[in-house]
Structure 1
Amino acid sequence: MSDPQMQQTESIRFLVDNIDSGNVVLPEFQRDFVWDIGKTYELFDSLVRDIFIGSIIYGKPSFEITVREVDKRPRKGTGSRAKLETMFFTREEIERKTQINNFRLVLDGQQRATSIYRALKGIDDVWVIIKNEEELTEEIQEEDFKYRLLEEIVHEFTGKEDEDRLSIKLSDAYEISNGDFFEEEIRENYFEKLSFLAGMDEKEIKDSFRRFLVIIKKLNTLYGSEKLLSYYLLNMNTEKFALFFERSNSKGVQLNFIDILAAKLYKGFNLREEIEKLQNSYHITDYKFNREIIVRTISYIISNSKEVDRTYILTNLNYNHFNDYWDIVCKYYKKAIDFLFKGNYILSQSWMPYENMIIPLIIFLKELEGNDFSQMNEKQHEFISYWYWSSILSQRYSSGTNEVIIQDSIVLGKVAKNIRISDKIYFNKIRTQINSFEDILALTKKGSAVYKEILNFTNFNSKGLIDWNNSSKLSFNSKLEDHHIFPKQYIKENYGDDENAISLIDCVANRTLLPKITNIRIGKKAPSEYLTDMKIKNKDIELSLKNHLIPVEILEGLYDDFYYDFVETRAKQIFELIEINIKQREKKILENFFQAPISSNSGNIKVFVTYYNKRIDATFDIETEKVLYNGKKYSVSAAANKAKEDLSGKANLSTNGWKFWKYTTDSGEERSIDDFRKSIIVS
């Protein structure tokens, strides 16, 4: 008989089923579910790639205990602040449930377990995006689609459908695999709702549906794989239970891929020494330089705007590249931080929502005439500001970060050269997802990028936050805390029976950035009480409150007994500023920076494709949507299949011709002819 405390495995489906049946629960004192949605995307990417994600540790207690359900609440809106159900079980009930139902507690790994459950049950929208045929290696393209591994064909996991790629929501796949659906039902209820299908002909739709079904089967296999989740099952008494939680927080040292790169470059470029020199240069000790930002920027430059991922970096970059580009990239990096701070986009690097957004800013500087932000024209400045705030509020850096870095770097490089953007869908991708003040009330997790953005946006709107003790402007990288305006303990003591108020204790509308020492002195007093104390030292405290977008009536005690009214009022005020500074500028940004890739729906253009390292040229008729190849006219996809057959010697190689054939824009950019189909649909 196997030792129950040895490592074992179970499937995702088994875990989800057991959470549904109440056989897997959490100890009541476990911390809340705190993972940002981006962590869930990374988790499923790791599962698909068979990367070890750590073991889940279950416990079978031999004592009475109160447990609570796994967090099934929506992230925002109705029910997001509902109280989680708790249950008390006697020792006898625990013993019976563990023997009959395999009842167990999640001691470690609840963030992973909860993320998996929420994705498969549709509480969180998690989409798997499949690569288009032309994005695959030639070796994989030669395989029949049904024999390809998920790892080979997955582009990314993200929070919404990709209009340019076949996309499947994980919860849909779970629902389909658990149901007894006919193909017609799957097609009507799930597949035909995809916007990816817009403009496709009948054959393309048929091929896409076949692929859709194959992916469903592959995901079903993934969900049912017994080896996917490893776990330990511990039988423990109260003493062991306590010891486990005392000792389970120790962490080992993790090797970063930059450390491996440093060893590779050491012969001709000492990366560790150079980053230390950089950190000590400029005589600015407050600046923190992230070596990964510099490395990925150099990778972008060397790869001609195509690669920033670790595989490319470790395989292709050498010390000559770093000797050539290190100094200039570091110079632009410093300028980018200067711009963000002096423009009040950030008050502290530690509170910057997405550090990777510095890379597109560096590329903007590289392409800008004069290589300095002072050389921007007003339209360029407007775009940078809109792009920065709107990109954060769209959470587009929460997933697929490498592709997003490349896409934004290309776009900002064009803006720097006053070249308009021909991809209208790009503007949809950076559109804010904050659509009401209630979305702001739902922001309670300080690790969330949008939470951080709201705090920084307050700083931006006020042209720099000031302290409350003396109304002096807060300095860069001050030791800041997200101070509770209504102190946490005050709310607990005065609103203990009000679940709505308790759920909003950590709401971002009740937070503002202040120096740590100021925050400590506030304690648990009523807002009017501690602010009146501060007014003795700072007679202009009303000015400080306005600067932090806090209603000055709070000083008079008008909100002391009306906490919800306070956070609602402040959330509405913040949302109004988002409307004015971001949402209402969408149309103007589109007018100033979008230009359709084609000016008419007729005429011929030269198209080409590179396949098997060979180039083929052809002609595309915009009006008839036919391709003239080797003297014959074909449909777009048939021409692609014929070209692939001629180059590879293999027949029946199906592909999406709209993504396969490329053309060159007036600005020299290579794009797929899908622009011609999408231009009519999107405009």
Structure 2
Amino acid sequence: MAEPQQQQTESIKFLMDNIEKGNIVLPEFQRDFVWDIGKTYELFDSLVRDIFIGSIIYGKPSFEITVRNIDKRPRKGAGSRAKIETKFFTKEEIEHKTQINNFRLVLDGQQRATSIYRALKGIDDIWIIIKNDEELIEDIQNKEFKDRTLEEIIHEFNGKEDEDRLSVKLSDAYTIIKSDDFEDEIKSKYFDSLIFLTGFEENEIKNVFRKFMGTIKKLNELLGSEKLLSYYLLNMNTEKFALFFERSNSKGIQLNFIDILAAKLYKGFNLREEIDKLQNSYHISEYQFNREIIVRTISYIISNGREVDRTYILTNLNYIHFNEYWDKVCNYYKKVIDFLFKENYILSQSWMPYENMIIPLIIFLNELEGNDFSQMNERQNEFISYWYWSSILSQRYSSGTNEVIVQDCTILKRIAKDQKTTDKSYFNKIKIQMKGYEDILSLTKKGSAVYKGVLNFLNFASKGLLDWPNSSKLTFNSKLEDHHIFPKQYIKENYSDDENALSLIDCVANRTLLPKITNIRIGKKAPSEYLMDIKIKNIDIEDSLTNHLIPIELLEGLYDEFYFDFVEIRAKQIFETIENKIILKEKQILNNFYKTPVTSNSGNKKVFANYYNKRIEATFDIDTEKILYKGKKYSVSSAASKAKEDLSGKVNASTNGWKFWKYQTDSEEVRFIDDYRKSNILTK
């Protein structure tokens, strides 16, 4: 193949401009865009932190070729299954376009390029969440906002706005950067509707708007940086073009932070040796123990329920901690896997949507009386089931994982003690966003957590999936594949002119988990044909189909020529099952596990805040909504500003006081006094 030219760099703005002008396209045969939303969060986080994301490889062909545009379809709903338009260019047209317009094909890096484009154009909602001042380390707090880097102030990227922190949607930022709007127009269009502003006073809103505009400026600098994206440009003929795709499939070896930790602990605890012992100790080869799960769980315990991130782990954990907690955590780890399998939450670890969800379950077990799932009462079992499936289907673990883990561990600790939570907002965070069966039809990407979640949920709903040749219950870690109920080749051959059917080939409603050997034998036959072959071995095949939520009429051939009807009916059945077992239980879960934190609407309440690693105490007058701080009365937010000024020496260090001052409930839960404000609003 052609030797690449020297590595070059370009800006994201330049990439976006060229995609919009049609100068950067994909070869028609490139695979579809498959990244789930979590991958996009990670990509932008890497860009902000100047972590190398790999080079984009462009090709300048010298031959005729059919191309297609970047995938601009919504992830679900209307247009999500529309056919991506293709266009054929002759050799002469290609030569003209490459010379005049710098026309290029994306040979490698289309997932990254597509993710960037979709986020900045608002096809995918991606928000950058900015840390509050009190969350910053002292050195960063001492800087003016304009002097802080994005890396220093970023909390996370997420798919929705954060009600407790300043949030900026990337597509809004990109639109503002490209527009000639004045500040008052920007404020009314993009800023005033932010839920974070609730409870702010006028002078604070002005300060937050300055931070909003400052963040836009920093994003503009990021997107305009000529050194952000690296690329190679290959000039190639057809033979070399083909060789590139045959030979560009290698992967590098990545150093994990756990390897660094292992070196640090080696003096008193051999992490690598212990994980090998663990893997062999139960004589259950199917179980796979992830060392990162164990390490983060120990971190949560050592930090008293505050930290599971790599910085804390590498800085604070030592071999003494591991000698003390390793065996205990590993024992609970095994119990969690046992529980998830026996209660039909998973069929195999490889198909588990979010492995990090094991950590809160270990913490739950650690707090549960008897330290065994058999000791759960029905209410606790009800919450675990709701939490597990809602977290998966709401994609809760796709971003901000460290914070999510800590929050879920804290909630599950309370549930293990048969206590309710006073954090009502938590239930919105695990709320499933599915509205109908169309959401099931939109799930076509095998790697997505929701796709995996739906397939696992079928196992849960049926109390264990059955194999088809003999109706036996599938065992743990059977070598499973997401089998096409209507075989892929059958659809391509029989529905070649039906774009709607072709777009739904890989839909989760046309998939179910089966052992690989069963899948191989099915081949590309019509559903009724291969099912009748199986029925020779298993006269009760109808029971297996029903078990997988598959209409038994499929066996009779009634759907062979009506694929879309089949997939729509099954999608409806799947959604209705999710609705009945999870979505309709939302109110019941809220009633059973939430209690209003405010016990009095009058009187005084001791409050506190943590800033610059110091604790500040004051008194909150519930009736007047004033703070008594150092002998003087202030508004809630003015008191916060004054307290921060006293500790930092900085004037105008304003913040939303309702999200600054905290109190402790009777059940020892720490909450923001925003609870009082919300309670008063509801009673007025």
Question: Do structure 1's residue 647 and structure 2's residue 661 form an aligned pair?
Answer: no
1:605 is paired with a residue of what secondary structure? strand
Matched residue, 2:184: 184
Cα pair 1:133 1:656 within 8 Å, conserved = no
Q: CA deviation at 1:132?
A: 1.5
2:174 and 2:410 map into 1 onto residues whose CA distance is: 37
2:481 is paired with a residue of what secondary structure? strand
Matched residue, 2:459: 459
One-letter amino acid of the counterpart of residue 401, structure 1? T
Q: CA deviation at 1:679?
A: 4.1
One-letter amino acid of the counterpart of residue 54, structure 1? G
Q: CA deviation at 1:602?
A: 2.3
Matched residue, 1:286: 286
2:104 and 2:436 map into 1 onto residues whose CA distance is: 40
1:661 and 1:46 map into 2 onto residues whose CA distance is: 33
Cα pair 1:119 1:126 within 8 Å, conserved = yes
| Correspondence list, 1:349-428, <5 A | 349-428=349-428
Q: CA deviation at 1:4?
A: 8.1
1:388 is paired with a residue of what secondary structure? helix
Cα pair 2:27 2:105 within 8 Å, conserved = yes
1:286 is paired with a residue of what secondary structure? coil
| Correspondence list, 1:236-247, <5 A | 236-247=236-247
1:193 is paired with a residue of what secondary structure? coil
2:421 is paired with a residue of what secondary structure? coil
Q: CA deviation at 1:681?
A: 5.7
Q: Unaligned 5+ residue runs, structure 2?
A: none
One-letter amino acid of the counterpart of residue 674, structure 1? D
1:31 and 1:648 map into 2 onto residues whose CA distance is: 53
2:390 and 2:417 map into 1 onto residues whose CA distance is: 21
Q: CA deviation at 1:203?
A: 2.3
1:80 is paired with a residue of what secondary structure? coil
The C-alpha deviation readout for 1:212-232, integer Å capped at 9, x for no partner, is 111111111211111111111
Matched residue, 2:74: 74
Matched residue, 1:262: 262
One-letter amino acid of the counterpart of residue 205, structure 1? I
Cα pair 1:199 1:678 within 8 Å, conserved = no
2:643 and 2:483 map into 1 onto residues whose CA distance is: 63
Matched residue, 1:169: 169
Q: CA deviation at 1:626?
A: 1.2
Most deviating of 663-672 and 73-82? 663-672
Cα pair 1:132 1:659 within 8 Å, conserved = no
Q: CA deviation at 1:614?
A: 3.4
1:650 and 1:612 map into 2 onto residues whose CA distance is: 12
Structure 1 vs Structure 2: percent identity of aligned residues?
80
The C-alpha deviation readout for 1:111-130, integer Å capped at 9, x for no partner, is 00000000000011101111
1:489 is paired with a residue of what secondary structure? helix
The C-alpha deviation readout for 1:17-45, integer Å capped at 9, x for no partner, is 11010000011111111101100000000
Q: CA deviation at 1:189?
A: 1.3
Question: Do structure 1's residue 542 and structure 2's residue 545 form an aligned pair?
Answer: no
1:234 is paired with a residue of what secondary structure? strand
2:4 and 2:585 map into 1 onto residues whose CA distance is: 60
Q: CA deviation at 1:655?
A: 2.8
1:163 and 1:614 map into 2 onto residues whose CA distance is: 25
1:118 and 1:319 map into 2 onto residues whose CA distance is: 45
Q: CA deviation at 1:350?
A: 0.7
Matched residue, 1:197: 197
Most deviating of 360-369 and 281-290? 281-290
1:59 is paired with a residue of what secondary structure? strand
One-letter amino acid of the counterpart of residue 361, structure 2? L
One-letter amino acid of the counterpart of residue 32, structure 1? D
One-letter amino acid of the counterpart of residue 355, structure 2? E
The C-alpha deviation readout for 1:609-630, integer Å capped at 9, x for no partner, is 3334433321011222211111
Cα pair 1:486 1:527 within 8 Å, conserved = yes
Q: CA deviation at 1:648?
A: 3.3
Q: Structure 1 residues 681, 390: CA separation in 2 closer, same or farther (over 3 Å shift)? A: farther
1:193 and 1:284 map into 2 onto residues whose CA distance is: 54
Cα pair 2:134 2:610 within 8 Å, conserved = no
One-letter amino acid of the counterpart of residue 635, structure 1? S
Most deviating of 622-631 and 402-411? 622-631
Matched residue, 2:273: 273
Question: Do structure 1's residue 339 and structure 2's residue 339 form an aligned pair?
Answer: yes
1:610 and 1:421 map into 2 onto residues whose CA distance is: 22
Matched residue, 2:508: 508
Matched residue, 2:602: 602
2:512 and 2:259 map into 1 onto residues whose CA distance is: 37
2:17 and 2:574 map into 1 onto residues whose CA distance is: 41
One-letter amino acid of the counterpart of residue 203, structure 2? K
Matched residue, 2:615: 615
The C-alpha deviation readout for 1:41-65, integer Å capped at 9, x for no partner, is 0000011111111111111111111
Most deviating of 645-654 and 582-591? 645-654
2:304 and 2:228 map into 1 onto residues whose CA distance is: 38
Matched residue, 2:327: 327
Q: Unaligned 5+ residue runs, structure 1?
A: none
Q: CA deviation at 1:280?
A: 1.0
1:15 and 1:220 map into 2 onto residues whose CA distance is: 14
Most deviating of 115-124 and 631-640? 631-640
One-letter amino acid of the counterpart of residue 674, structure 2? D
One-letter amino acid of the counterpart of residue 638, structure 1? S
2:523 and 2:193 map into 1 onto residues whose CA distance is: 53
1:616 is paired with a residue of what secondary structure? strand
Q: Structure 1 residues 477, 682: CA separation in 2 closer, same or farther (over 3 Å shift)? A: farther
2:229 and 2:570 map into 1 onto residues whose CA distance is: 44
Cα pair 1:390 1:430 within 8 Å, conserved = yes
Cα pair 2:199 2:658 within 8 Å, conserved = no
1:449 and 1:259 map into 2 onto residues whose CA distance is: 27
Most deviating of 128-137 and 345-354? 128-137
1:674 and 1:277 map into 2 onto residues whose CA distance is: 49
Q: Structure 1 residues 575, 463: CA separation in 2 closer, same or farther (over 3 Å shift)? A: same
Q: Structure 1 residues 661, 240: CA separation in 2 closer, same or farther (over 3 Å shift)? A: same
The C-alpha deviation readout for 1:437-471, integer Å capped at 9, x for no partner, is 00000000110111111111111111001110011
| Correspondence list, 1:656-675, <5 A | 656-675=656-675
2:114 and 2:649 map into 1 onto residues whose CA distance is: 49
Matched residue, 1:449: 449
Q: CA deviation at 1:680?
A: 4.7
One-letter amino acid of the counterpart of residue 498, structure 1? D
One-letter amino acid of the counterpart of residue 425, structure 2? I
2:614 and 2:574 map into 1 onto residues whose CA distance is: 55
2:492 is paired with a residue of what secondary structure? helix
2:262 and 2:551 map into 1 onto residues whose CA distance is: 52
Cα pair 2:200 2:637 within 8 Å, conserved = no
Most deviating of 612-621 and 499-508? 612-621
2:99 is paired with a residue of what secondary structure? helix
Q: CA deviation at 1:682?
A: 7.8
Question: Do structure 1's residue 587 and structure 2's residue 587 form an aligned pair?
Answer: yes
TM-score (norm 2): 0.98
One-letter amino acid of the counterpart of residue 558, structure 1? L
The C-alpha deviation readout for 1:129-174, integer Å capped at 9, x for no partner, is 1111211112222222222111111111011111111111100110
2:369 is paired with a residue of what secondary structure? coil
Cα pair 1:163 1:196 within 8 Å, conserved = yes
The C-alpha deviation readout for 1:592-647, integer Å capped at 9, x for no partner, is 11112212332211112333443332101122221111111011222222223333
1:334 and 1:4 map into 2 onto residues whose CA distance is: 49
One-letter amino acid of the counterpart of residue 602, structure 1? S
Question: Do structure 1's residue 625 and structure 2's residue 625 form an aligned pair?
Answer: yes
The C-alpha deviation readout for 1:229-260, integer Å capped at 9, x for no partner, is 11111111222222221221111221111111
Cα pair 1:424 1:682 within 8 Å, conserved = no
One-letter amino acid of the counterpart of residue 605, structure 1? K
1:648 and 1:161 map into 2 onto residues whose CA distance is: 29
2:128 and 2:477 map into 1 onto residues whose CA distance is: 38
1:643 and 1:194 map into 2 onto residues whose CA distance is: 25
The C-alpha deviation readout for 1:557-609, integer Å capped at 9, x for no partner, is 00001000000000000111111100110000000111122123322111123
Matched residue, 2:430: 430
Cα pair 1:134 1:659 within 8 Å, conserved = no
1:649 and 1:481 map into 2 onto residues whose CA distance is: 61
1:520 and 1:4 map into 2 onto residues whose CA distance is: 41
